[in-house]
Amino acid sequence: MRLSNFRGGLDIFARYFKNPDGYYIGGEHDVVYVSATDEPLSAKDLQAVIALGWIQDGMANRQFDAECYNPDESWMAFT
């Protein structure tokens, strides 16, 4: 994932956390995780993070699109 796509996704997710400077990220091997946001993403921002290459946890082997979105699930990006 490009740095700009990574940063762009984090910038969008931060707007949906009650405390945008909280501890919401983690990593494992080649994946960076972002916790489920406190508020659901708008349709516009959802499309933006999908276009940036972010997917929700558990969707790594499936096509991820707006219909798959679950506001209660965390996000992931492969490095």
**Mind listing the pLDDT tens digit for each residue in 32-76?**
999 999 999 999 999 999 999 999 977 766 788 888 899 999 999
Instruction: Note the pLDDT tens digit of each residue in 7-41.
Output: 999 999 999 999 988 888 898 889 999 999 999 99
Report yes or no: 56 and 74 within 8 Å, Cβ to Cβ.
yes
Q: Which domain, by its residues, includes 55?
A: 3-78
Query: What amino acid occupies position 71?
Result: P
- State how many domains the chain has: 1
For position 53, what pLDDT does the model report?
92
Cα three-residue angle 48-73-70, rounded to 5 degrees? 65
Query: How far apart are the C-alpha atoms of 35 and 29, rounded to whole Å?
Result: 17
